[in-house]
Structure 1
């Protein structure tokens, strides 16, 4: 835990220091340092992240090099979506380039963190705040545990600018590419419709009340997605299992989301409502606030849908954006106080996750570098 704590302390220090820097480009530029450190920590971890890491290792080992991959034949037999063909292709490509599984892990990590910076730096005036929030919301829970989704989230972050600009074709292409790696990404295509929704304080209040109350629908075990079962026959492999699970005709995915996530969301949502009139809206802020609000149904209406537990990962970094927008016009002193409070909350959240995941197995960080292992085959 000490290495996570040191990096978090460093990121928090940069956040507070950057608040004193007047120019946005310099504030965002220094965030590259903690992002680089996080990419190395994540990328060089040694079999950390639960049992899934062994599945990823096995997939890499059994995937042939490109000469033997036969991409078109694989697509014909398994389909383009639902068989993780994009993820398998990446495994094959990286193996062909001479890397082993540890090299693959490092490349995936670097890719994700590059996407975080490239995708979000234009939407924020202080990337350091996003780093601090990310260490709570995605650093361990996403990048350590879910390698496939990690890649897909990175691609989605790159697509947000096209969502903002109304470039449907470019947005859709990136989402479809991501969905060949993590199928659930395909359900982000309807987010394009957000650009046609006018954002007002009244609408946020109504939306928040309605979807918060849908928690009772979930408690009554009423499946509002049962009609999606008709889509099952359109896909194959894990995609078919996931759709069946969402539609209530399968039991491959059990579990749900902790209601504490709903409470946490609502606290920030209330602050957003109270401070909405003071936010100087532009295209960047509008799309990020809308993405933030899209998280609510997953914590209320779909709270018992185990298959949807991981969908918020695509949207969680918007928490940092909303916090920034709310304090944008505050004095430096107030910002320092608020950012300090946010940092404490994020650290406690990160600590809670580390201590509870698989009985605290991730408390002790292990890197393949300490074992003298190479990233090449």
Structure 2
């Protein structure tokens, strides 16, 4: 696969450079007011970029079809969660344009993520840069319903270490009205705050690495279906997932990062409750992506509820390696720029190869 490089990529490159420049500035101890101004600018920039885009991604037309057909009463058989359906229904009823749906989803999706990075990352600028290059186009552009549920999940995480189950549960129940997979995150309240010993975590990584490198399919779902009844629409979706034959392994990069993050967890001197949760989440992302590899689509959707933590853990890893050596820090930042920048460009190029109307050039909705 050759990488597409042309003038249509200019806006993406400019955004990438801007966010990287922000990560360099936010590494310094900026005045609180300046930090807040950057926070607002990044939010506005990304919300406009995501929320005012036109038909340049694979799922835009599908969401437009949902909007056009949402004038009647809701039926579960249409396969769309009731919360998302009602959003479309009332906007259509109020004669609002379809782009309003995309913009509202972008506001909820982007703001809560940027706010989470702002509050919990040692360098929120670099975390946003990593997120932009690795995940934003997968979800905030394409899988917008799950992008919003992911943001709600991020908002709910402090309730885990605060031991407040009901606010956590209510948020995820609300999120499930947008994407049903959010309901599967509720049991993690009882797991993510635990402090696992290193042998347990390394054993999980080793077993998952062997399974993925040997491309062994785990028949967990097949076994569970013998004992668990799956109702209606969920059963139909499950049958579709079961028809897939492609193997979807956890990448070597993710396995290596998982090992490094766990190592960091037991060697980093200052650790917060949230840091422990984020480490556990990345490990569970590897575990879930592995044990549900019989359902590639399901495993893919579920693991990204946990793998976004790379955006924060990578910053912690760089800080640990550099040990306050600014030259080494900025060298490692440059490595991140090259690696993640290449990842982003390669992904967009693959999408453009599938369909010449995807991503290049970027178009606002009024340019259609």
Q: TM-score range by the shorter chain?
A: 0.7 to 0.9
- Where do residues 215-230 of structure 1 align in structure 2 (5 Å cutoff)? 215=212, 219-229=215-225
In structure 1, the partner of 2:125 is 128
Distance 1:240 1:145 in 2: 24
1:118 corresponds in structure 2 to: 115
5 Å-filtered alignment, 1:1-377, equals 1-21=9-29, 27=35, 30-50=38-58, 52-64=59-71, 69=73, 74=74, 78=76, 83-195=80-192, 197-215=194-212, 219-229=215-225, 233-237=229-233, 239-244=234-239, 250-251=242-243, 253=244, 255-257=246-248, 259=249, 261-276=250-265, 277-308=267-298, 309-328=300-319, 330-331=323-324, 332-357=326-351, 359=353, 361-371=358-368
Contact kept in structure 2, 1:327 and 1:335, CA below 8 Å: yes
Change (3 A) 1:224 1:233: closer
Residues 31 and 174 (structure 1), Cα distance of their counterparts in 2 relative to 1, 3 Å cut? same
Deviates more, 1:22-31 or 1:173-182: 22-31
Correspondence for 1:375: none
Does structure 2 retain, via aligned residues, the 8 Å contact 1:16–1:340?
no
**CA separation of 1:103 and 1:324: change in aligned 2, threshold 3 A:** same
Deviation at 1:350, TM superposition (A): 0.3
Cα separation, 1, equivalents of 2:201 and 2:32: 29
Q: Which stretches of structure 1, 4 residues or more, deviate above 4 A after TM superposition?
A: 22-29, 230-234
Please give the secondary structure, in 2, of the residue aligned with 1:125. coil
Partner of 2:4: none
Write the distance in 2 (CA, Å) between the matches of 1:272 and 1:195: 15
Asked if 2 retains the 8 angstrom alpha-carbon contact of 1:291 and 1:318, the reply is yes
Give 3-state SS (helix, strand or coil) of 2:41's partner. helix
Contact 2:39 2:118 in 1 (8 A): no
Question: Cα–Cα, structure 1 residues 340 and 4, in superposed 2: closer, same or farther, change >3 Å?
Answer: same
Structure 1 residue 33 displacement after superposition: 2.1
TM-superposed CA distance for 1:267, in Å, is 2.4
Closer, same or farther in 2 for the Cα pair 1:24/1:168, shift >3 Å? farther
Query: Which residues of structure 1 form unaligned runs of 5+?
Result: 372-377
Say whether the 8 Å CA contact 1:119–1:157 is kept in structure 2.
Answer: yes
Q: The residue matched to 1:349 in structure 2 has which SS?
A: helix
RMSD of the TM alignment (CA)?
Answer: 2.7
